[in-house]
Amino acid sequence: MRNSLFFILKVAIVVAAAVWLAERPGRVTIDWQGAVIEIPFGIAVLGLLILMAAAALAYHLWRVLAKAPASIDRARKSGRREQGYKAVTQGLVAVAAGDPESAKRLTDKANKLLDDPPMTLLLSAQTAQLEGDDKAASAYFDALRQRPETEFLGLRGLLTQAMKDGDDLRALKLAQRAKALRPTSPWVLSTTFQLEVRLRRWTEAHATLNAAIKHKAIEVEPGKRFKAAIMIERSREEEAREDMAGAKEHAHAAVSLAPYFVPAVVREAKLIATAGKPDKAARLIEKAWSHEPHRILAEAYAALHREDDALSRVRRIEKLYRLKPDHPESLLALGVAEYGAKLWGTARSHLSKVSDLEPTRRVYRKLADLELAENDDGAAARKWLALAEGAPLEATWVCGTCGTTHARWSAICGRCGAFATLEWRSPSGRRMDAPPIAAARAALEDGTPKALPEPQEPPAVRQAIEAHTP
Ligand SMILES: [Zn+2]
């Protein structure tokens, strides 16, 4: 509406101007260097207008032509960049798919097309990694690290490489720099924690663990378990350098975090007993025993009073036994103590009950020892030893990662270096129901044992206690 109004107005002005000129005829005379041109005034005005329009058009054309090379160059560059980024994307996909040939080809293409070092450096580094060229990958990651905007990316690559090479010290240095750049990154926190633990830097690991829990890099429950493990290790180190106050403090902290975690309880009990309070230590073990009997608790309990004779030890263990009278560990602890005191009848009764409830190699061997010690009955002993052959191994500390068995609990698996993975179980898995015990027994009633007797375990409880006391 507005536009058409303007159009009508413009037409009206032109018509009015034409009419005005027509009504006022006249001529324009140009006299230049003796040449005289005479033209009507209206034509002169029209000619002037056409001349001005032609000049404007010419100027516009000149401008377009002058800019053309730059525009063409821009379009060409934009095409190259597009192709380059496409090559980077495809290259990263090839890396993810584990296709080194395509990754290499696309990396070369991206490098040719793009003038964008961060993008191509990352792709080059990942391709080199895929090709197994760690040296080249490190060089690319190092180049990334030199640029402020990609420093973190470079650190991450170098850190992963260092960990792969088993260079934990260098990895930790890189992790600390990454932590300074991104203090709340879950990956940085959990990696730093992993490295500090591996290097047994317990104080730093504890601080990092707190930050990791706060920023949800590690969940609260496993976090508590990890803390308890760290406290036990700190306590052990402090005891080793005779800082008994520190050792006790951290053992107590471990028990506060995990009240029924056997290594924590045993550690604190041992330190309390060493400080001259065996009864207090005993109460700590009794509390944990009431929750869940455990062989290591029984052994630590028996070791609290080193001056005890065998009979006093039996009386002491009876107290533990009465807290959980039907539990196989209670029966076993008492049976073993009675065996030590040469109370053959009750020892046999308790050990036989264990062999019915939870038969393990250790129980059968103990019964074999008993046959020899009480009656010097080699035939009966061999029967028990034959049963021992097919029985599951007794529980011990087994690494959940590599399956290695350990006589003593430790926060770090001595074999694979995994942290807090030791669990109390039979090394062959929980096979407590495995051997057809009744059938095997019946078959052995009359016949001779099929397997040769194995060398006997040292019968003394003391040796086992010493091996297991943290
Ligand atoms: Zn392991």
For ligand 1, the distance from its centroid to the CA atom of residue 302, given in whole angstroms, is 30
For ligand 1, the distance from its centroid to the CA atom of residue 411, given in whole angstroms, is 10
For ligand 1, the distance from its centroid to the CA atom of residue 270, given in whole angstroms, is 26
Domain boundaries in the chain?
81-165
Alpha carbon of residue 311 to chain centroid: 50
Nearest-angstrom CA–CA distance, 128 and 37: 84
Question: Exposure of 361 by Cβ count < 10 A (0-12 exposed, 13-18 middle, 19+ buried)?
Answer: buried
For ligand 1, the distance from its centroid to the CA atom of residue 119, given in whole angstroms, is 39
Indicate the pLDDT class of residue 429, thresholds 50, 70 and 90: low
For ligand 1, the distance from its centroid to the CA atom of residue 170, given in whole angstroms, is 23
Indicate the pLDDT class of residue 152, thresholds 50, 70 and 90: very high
pLDDT tens digits, one per residue of 369-383: 999 999 999 999 999
For ligand 1, the distance from its centroid to the CA atom of residue 190, given in whole angstroms, is 19
For ligand 1, the distance from its centroid to the CA atom of residue 425, given in whole angstroms, is 14
Q: What is the per-residue pLDDT for 464?
A: 36
For ligand 1, the distance from its centroid to the CA atom of residue 261, given in whole angstroms, is 19
Q: How distant, in Å, are the alpha carbons of 41, 340, 457 from that of 348? A: 141, 12, 17
For ligand 1, the distance from its centroid to the CA atom of residue 413, given in whole angstroms, is 5
For ligand 1, the distance from its centroid to the CA atom of residue 419, given in whole angstroms, is 8
User: Position 9: which residue type?
Assistant: L
Higher pLDDT, 56 or 46: 56
For ligand 1, the distance from its centroid to the CA atom of residue 176, given in whole angstroms, is 26
CB 264 within 8 A of CB 300: no
pLDDT tens digits, one per residue of 212-229: 999 999 999 999 999 999
For ligand 1, the distance from its centroid to the CA atom of residue 398, given in whole angstroms, is 8
Q: What is the pTM of this model?
A: 0.69
- Other beta carbons within 10 angstroms of residue 87's beta carbon come to 23
Question: CA-CA-CA-CA torsion for 232, 235, 237, 239, nearest 10 degrees?
Answer: -140
**Mean pLDDT, range 148-173, rounded to an integer:** 94
* Percent of the chain whose pLDDT exceeds 90: 62
Alpha carbon of residue 42 to chain centroid: 91
Tokens 């054309």 belong to residue = 61
Indicate the pLDDT class of residue 442, thresholds 50, 70 and 90: very low
User: Position 145: which residue type?
Assistant: R
Q: Where are the beta strands (DSSP E) in 171-260?
A: none
Q: Lowest mean pLDDT: which of 28-37, 272-281, 356-365? A: 28-37
pLDDT at 445 over 70: no
For ligand 1, the distance from its centroid to the CA atom of residue 342, given in whole angstroms, is 39
pLDDT at 41 over 90: no
Nearest to 229 by CA among 396, 427, 397: 397
For ligand 1, the distance from its centroid to the CA atom of residue 399, given in whole angstroms, is 5
pLDDT tens digits, one per residue of 257-295: 999 999 999 999 999 999 999 999 999 999 999 999 999
For ligand 1, the distance from its centroid to the CA atom of residue 262, given in whole angstroms, is 19
Nearest-angstrom CA–CA distance, 328 and 352: 10
For ligand 1, the distance from its centroid to the CA atom of residue 405, given in whole angstroms, is 8
Terminal CA-CA length for the chain: 96
For ligand 1, the distance from its centroid to the CA atom of residue 409, given in whole angstroms, is 12
For ligand 1, the distance from its centroid to the CA atom of residue 263, given in whole angstroms, is 18
Phi/psi at 454 (nearest 5 deg)? -85, 160
pLDDT tens digits, one per residue of 182-211: 999 999 999 999 999 999 999 999 999 999
For ligand 1, the distance from its centroid to the CA atom of residue 417, given in whole angstroms, is 6
Q: How distant, in Å, are the alpha carbons of 139, 146, 318 from that of 154? A: 10, 8, 63
For ligand 1, the distance from its centroid to the CA atom of residue 239, given in whole angstroms, is 25
CB 222 within 8 A of CB 209: no
